[in-house]
Amino acid sequence: MKKHIILGVTGSIAAYKAAELANQLTKKGYSVTVLMTRNATEFVSPLTFQTLTKRAVYTDSFEKVSDFDVEHVGLAKQADVLLIAPATANIIGKIAGGIADDILTTVTMAIQGKPVVICPAMNTAMYENPIVRGNIQKLSDLGYRFIEPRESVLACGDLGKGALAEIETIIAYIEGL
């Protein structure tokens, strides 16, 4: 039986790549539930993910659901892995600080004993910022796993490390868990 993956999508231009990631994981037989931050919905529509995964997409901690469950806890219990791709400096900082103020961060805080894989995607200057690096180190020390971004020409035109890892690299990592 294939894993149930919760895919967290944050407000990065790389969010469009998360749609292809969700599509490929679904085609490989994984059950993929997508959680989107509000900022992510500015880049890609929840309907895109719903169509690709054939599953509900969560964008709000207080959405009305047909079967009541404390949603963030229920989702966390269902997951075999939480994959955050792309992960912005903002989401990394919120998780490192224990902030749980949206569906993605509350599910992240509720995950216990299952891998959380974070795929940073941001401008090189942000990725290299000592605060962001410190947050990544803190989370790594706590057992969170990271798939390093790659060097590329970024959306802003800069050349540097910060582009989302290749979809194939992310899938290979998940399959290796």
DSSP 54-70: SS-EE--TT---SS---
- Choosing from 56, 131, 142, 156, the catalytic residue is 156
In angstroms, the Cα distances linking 27 to 21, 140, 177 are: 10, 30, 18
CA distance 131 to 108: 20
156 labelled catalytic? yes
Q: What number of CA atoms fall less than 13 Å from residue 68's CA on the CB side? A: 0
State the catalytic residues.
156
